[in-house]
Structure 1
Amino acid sequence: MNLLSSGSKPLATLGLALATTSLPMLAHAYDLPPINLGFTSFLDGAPPAGNGWYFSQYVQQYHADKFKDNAGNSLGLPNPKVDVTVSLSQVLYISDIEVAGANLGMDVIVPVVSPHTSYGAASNAFPKAGDSGVGDLLVGPFLQWPIVMGEKGPKFMQRVELQFILPTGEYSANREINPGSNAWSFNPYWSGTYFFTPEWTASVRAHYLWNGKNDDPNRGFQALGASSTRAGQAFHTNFAMEYAFTPQLRLGVNGYYLKQTTDTQMNGHDVSGRREQVLALGVGGMYSFSKQDHLMFNFYDEMAVKNRTEGERYNLRFVHHF
């Protein structure tokens, strides 16, 4: 039952290419913009109550205490801590207009991001967090296909969305962690849910990410002589499986995976050794107060990390159909 059309990895751009002589290991960068890592999970193939207007509110807390390099090893930072709180407010509409056998819809998401970093020692070379503020706006038209029914109920549901991430969020080149990324992105996805039985389902959402140019790169890139950067392309997916123990309560497992597929560019040239990767697994649940109102909780523990922070995510999501 998605409702996040993207979502958003709200952990903002982490550029760690800091040109320092005292800490050369910080010549690593975390370049990808905020994307949907773990915001959507159970029954993601369709909204829960048919056509019309929906509102969803998401709150995600991310905590990390490791910065990983290209080999998956921890960088030598003193007691690093990164905490990011993200609020996503989403309005979604599914119309009665049919295109290619599906209903046409539109999705808009407004994020608010509060990042924070701390270390066991003080240094201007360490990655810094910007001020809290509004993140990049997410907008996407989508096609929602009718639910395929079987003898005992639903069997399959799916959706395709062409999601755009617009560079409207707050951004400072003097900070590595910002609410916005200062570059546009195109992040389309397909999502589907398969019903093994009326109670047992599996869902997948698969995105592919293209990024535009940042003409005001962060201080680490500027110290290396960069006048522009372009984050690499990436594949990322959310996946979940759950079982309805009662008509109201579903419990299951959930996860996400990200793999950067092309190099980041600096001044139009590829920079090797910066491709990001992360796998996260965890558990979650969903409680349906009615057909119109649903609450979901997800926990994720990250592993197999390269060129990113490694930590845990806690996600809370409420969905209402008008």
Structure 2
Amino acid sequence: MPAKPQAGAQPGSTRNTHSQLATLAATLAAACSLATPAGASELPAVNLGLTTFIDGAPPAGPGWYVSEYLQYYSADKLRDKDGKAAPLPKQDIEVTSLVSQAIWMSADTLWGAHYGVTLLLPAVLDARTDDGLNNAALPKGNTGVGDLIVGPFLQWMPIMGENGPIFAHRFEIDVSFPTGEYDNKRSVNPGAKHWTINPYWSGTYWVTPDWTVSTRLWYLWSGKNTDPNPNGYTGYGVANARDMRPGEAFHMNFATEYAVTPQLRLGINGYWLKQITETEVNGHAVSGSKEQVFGLGPGVLYSFSQQDHLFFNAYKESHVRNRPEGERYVVRYVHHFK
């Protein structure tokens, strides 16, 4: 997109209004986990709040699991590097995505842990944005199947005490392959057009038999996209982008819940993301491109049996930089095949 200022641009601002429109479109994907942006300074989408209660332990024993995540994200603010909202009449964003997951865990052990592998395949179902200016130049979203994610893992089963489990944990290395649909002219893409490596450690501690605390901690590394939107970085002074590599980041999910009944658990869940290095465009760091976000809200887990579980989690975002600020809702269903 051209860098020419539009009506309403604020004199002396770091980005003109047109560049903010470009960023608004680009950040659609970052708003929704496992959908990917084509525009400026955005991290690849990651797991933000998809996994929550009792995350460090499997709900049942070895074998096959399937899990479906349906996610809806909406936002009405786009925050810049200083946390200020873009000066636009509207900043409405809506993204709906679906993530399908298959997990296999062996009955055998390695280093005292059950080994296995998980496969995830995300899809963008719908992506919409409205800047209030009826801007025809604002690129549209691209729906479809995203990048395949493969994650070998080691799962340590719960350490048992006199009154039940005490602690369980897991280590996994998720690798995202650039197999998804991608168009550098689109604001939202199911595919990232680059590799990512996203290892994590997850643990659950039983404070009491009915009360648990869980966390999942990631490090994110991204490869180079050699086909970015060439005009997607004009707001940062780059006229012709030939390649782009997102910065490195840490992120985490955390949750605590209490068993009201043997089937029903209620609690609080959240997520946090912090980019630690700048995004690189044409081999040079883009100053002011680091992202951050914090989300917090309530959650519910209902277990129909040991084999079937339904999660609902909601989040309100704050402390946002270089991303949209909004609300996220996740419905997750998990089934274990005996």
| TM-score, reference length from structure 1 | 0.91
Structure 1 unpaired stretches of 5+: 1-16
Cα distance in 1, alignment partners of residues 91 and 198 from structure 2: 30
**Equivalents in 2 of 1:155, 1:19: separation in Å?**
57
Q: What CA RMSD, in Å, does the superposition of the two structures yield over aligned residues?
A: 1.5
Note the alpha carbon deviations across 1:71-128, whole angstroms, 9 max, x for none. 00001122121111111111000012322111110000111112221231122454x3
**Partner of residue 21, structure 1:** 5
Q: Please report how far the alpha carbon of residue 20 of structure 1 lies from its aligned counterpart in structure 2 after TM superposition.
A: 3.4
What is the CA distance between 1:183 and its match in structure 2? 0.9
Task: Give me the whole-angstrom Cα distance separating, in 2, the residues matched to 1:79 and 1:118.
Answer: 6
Structure 2 length-normalised TM = 0.87
Name which of 131, 134, 144 aligns with 1:119: 131
Matched, 1:75 2:59: no
Match of 1:196, SS?
strand
- Where does residue 239 of structure 2 map in the other structure? 224
| Structure 1 segment 281-292 matched on structure 2, within 5 A | 281-292=296-307
Alignment partner of 1:267 is 2:251: no
Q: Secondary structure at the match of 2:232?
A: helix
By how many angstroms is 1:199 displaced?
A: 0.3
After superposition, residues 181-192 of structure 1 pair within 5 angstroms as: 181-192=192-203
Q: Write the distance in 1 (CA, Å) between the matches of 2:304 and 2:2.
A: 49
Letter of the 1:221 partner, please give it: Y
Structure 2 gaps, min length 5: 10-15, 24-39
Q: Structure 1, residues 207-230: CA drift from partner, whole Å, max 9, x if none?
A: 110000000112313862211000
* Letter aligned with residue 282 of structure 1: G
SS of 2:189's partner is coil
For residues 87-102 of structure 1, the aligned pairs below 5 Å read 87-102=98-113
Q: Deviations over 1:143-165 (max 9, x none)?
A: 00121111100000100001011
Distance 2:52 2:110 in 1: 26
Alpha carbons 1:231, 1:263 under 8 Å: kept: yes
How far the C-alpha of 1:18 sits from its partner, in A, is: 6.7
1:106 paired residue number = 117
Matched, 1:40 2:51: yes
Alignment of 1:301-316 (within 5 A): 301-316=316-331
Counterpart CA distance in 1 for 2:57 and 2:219 is: 20
Residue 188 of structure 2 aligns to a residue in which SS? coil
Deviation readout 1:163-189 (Å, 9 max, x if unpaired): 011111111111222222111100010
Aligned twin of 1:321: 336
Q: Percent identity?
A: 53
